[in-house]
Structure 1
């Protein structure tokens, strides 16, 4: 006597058991996906039928059927318009119902209505639970290759970089072109970092956000400046005997004043470098390249205006970066006392530029300008002025004194020595003059130069050498 058994096992139990035991079999792969328990009786009946067909035995009456769980057919609301909205198609409703009938998903009267209707899900389709599953069945029979490529219906947003992201990528590209490597530092620092950079005890430290569960004293507050983080990395490289180092970071700072007591999160571009040919003017050149890439206009470099941040920099090698009436940031050599606090003798040069201010000062996209049709007239002038007068102030004065013909001004010589009075210096510029609608005469060029010299004399007491 032979007893045939046909069983269906719980998919979750089989999956977890096979995973915990590390025993993956063909049977576990089938049962863990969930099979129809109502197929057990037809399966054993088929086995008995084969026994008789092969003449291997005689089937006797009697079946013991234990049904611990009988899945009942359930219904789902089928909405053809919703299916088309999910798939981005325009399939007729009747055709959708015919597709579903192929997998035994039918309406109560086995019809193909033209609108929404309840459909019965067979017991062997336990994976069909909602309208999205019905849409998948329709898509399989309709053909994925027949579904057109379209944007989402309704209000859509095309992907792409935002203005701030484009700005950050542009700035990073220029920094990398100048040999600067990107770093990413923590946004929390130690309160003692403010002492290292020579900030006053009550300046911004009292406004720093304290972390409730810090990892340690060295990471107990949110930074209000990115300078300590940059100096820490520069110091580490110096201690590792790295000779030439150029680093940049676009990092966040956290200042009070936000809504509901939250912080104002701002991004700052921080440059840091030492060694090699790095000096004040090399850092200034990198900043000028960044501003040129962003097409920032009316750029001037001014002597420090007494900000507390200025205490971290060398008093004679520090400058603020302005665009018109907006301060974009500052740069210069780190104060020797600050470098001493970090235990290094190297000359560190750093720059801090506010990304929000850079975005506001960013110029419009470039437009094509045809090459000039008329030749330029060049003039060289050398003026004697006080040594305290900066070249930037002289250039601004020259541009204001011109009568509209000046196209470019460039410095080519600074001289102090024989023939120049004590406390004075000689500064020479090359002027390029051109008109867009005619060729200039020598008289017109001389009149423009005369106006420039008069403005220099009146505003800066700079006279022609």
Structure 2
């Protein structure tokens, strides 16, 4: 490459991952504790002539927000998997899976290949601690990379129609439930959505906690809720009624108890 911005950018790159890791290290060196970045760019496969491949990649490092029931939690490969799932769902990619661990700088037990429509499409995983340490990166760093051609080929269009921005403000609630450790978080979330009814505008699972002071064999699932009426400003009493329905239904279905401290 003629006249590169940096000496290490003087060559055609074959992967996005090194650049993402360099950006994480650079941000940390400047005092940024939590890094969430993405890039869409071109890589090259060695051939005659070179083959250009467009890719999209992202990296997560640091911690999520702090709730009143838990301390800050380190971002990891599960958070990266959530980013991947949201992206593929938004694009309508239905036929995808994660398979065996990829080669390269990834932790073998916390990484996988991304397969779309039966073909290799990218990689997802946590960078091996030795690699991160060698780059002066503190803490875990998770990376995901997808080939745009595979992504476009598997996309079936948005999974939902465009939503008109709401006219009325939401009422926000954070709820944490104690359930048996074997209880699937997805099943609890689905029951929560049903119980919330039409007033539950959105919900997300943002924390899973195991340990003191919870009873042995249990875990805490924390959900963030936005409650809203489509045609008026929602009253606090209406929001509380919806919350009460959710608490009652999860207690009935899973024996869930609302965590209060």
Q: Aligning the two structures, in what range does the TM-score lie when normalised by the shorter sequence?
A: 0.5 to 0.7
Counterparts of 2:147 and 2:96, CA distance in 1? 15
Equivalent residue for 1:223, pick from 9, 13, 34:
13
1:218, CA displacement in angstroms? 2.3
Name the structure 1 match of 2:38: 248
Q: Which has the higher strand share?
A: 2
Name the residue aligned to 2:88.
291
Of Structure 1 and Structure 2, which has the larger fraction of its residues in helix? 1
Q: Contact (CA 8 Å) 1:311, 1:335: kept in 2 or not?
A: no
Distance 1:297 1:316 in 2: 25
Q: For residues 185-210 of structure 1, what are the alpha-carbon distances to aligned partners after superposition, in whole Å with 9 as ceiling and x for unaligned?
A: xxxxxxxxxxxxxxxxxxxxxxxxxx
Aligned residues: 152
Q: Which residue of 1 aligns with 2:138?
A: 345
CA 214–344 in structure 1, closer or farther in 2 if over 3 Å, else same: closer
What pairs with 1:182-261 in structure 2 (closer than 5 Å)? Answer: 211=1, 217-257=7-47, 261=48
- Superposed, 1:57-136 pairs within 5 Å as none
Whole-angstrom CA distance in 2 between matches of 1:335 and 1:268: 22
**What is residue 270 of structure 1 aligned with on the other side?**
57
Structure 2 counterpart SS, 1:320: strand
Please provide the CA RMSD for this pair.
Answer: 2.4
Partner secondary structure for residue 331 of structure 1: strand
Counterparts of 1:237 and 1:367, CA distance in 2: 35
Query: Mapping of 1:346-385 within 5 angstroms?
Result: 346-364=139-157
2:79 alignment partner, one of 282, 286, 296: 282
Q: Structure 2: how far apart are the matches of 1:350 and 1:214? A: 25
Q: Kindly name which structure, 1 or 2, has the bigger radius of gyration based on alpha carbons.
A: 1
Distance 1:241 1:362, change over 3 A: same
Alignment deviations for residues 245-296 of structure 1 (CA, whole Å, 9 cap, x no partner): 1000001112233xxx432211111101111131111110110000001111
Seen in structure 2, the aligned counterparts of structure 1 residues 244 and 325 have a Cα distance that, compared at 3 Å, is same
Runs (5+) with no aligned partner, structure 1: 1-210, 369-383, 385-465
Inter-partner Cα distance in structure 2 for 1:253 and 1:295: 25
Q: Call closer, same or farther: CA 1:362–1:217 in 2, change over 3 Å.
A: same
Cα 1:285–1:213 change in 2 (3 A) is closer
Q: Secondary structure at the match of 1:221?
A: coil
Distance 1:295 1:215, change over 3 A: closer
Q: Distance in 2 between matches of 1:318 and 1:347?
A: 13
The secondary structure found in structure 2 opposite 1:222 is coil
Deviation at 1:367, TM superposition (A): 8.7
Q: 4+ runs of 1 displaced by more than 3 Å?
A: 211-217, 364-368
In structure 2, list runs of 5 or more residues that go unmatched: 65-74, 162-181, 183-261
Task: Quote the Cα distance in structure 2 between the aligned partners of 1:247 and 1:367.
Answer: 26
| TM-score, normalised relative to structure 1 | 0.31
Q: Which residue of 2 aligns with 1:460?
A: none
CA apart distance, 1:326: 1.3
| Distance in 2 separating the partners of 1:313 and 1:366 | 31
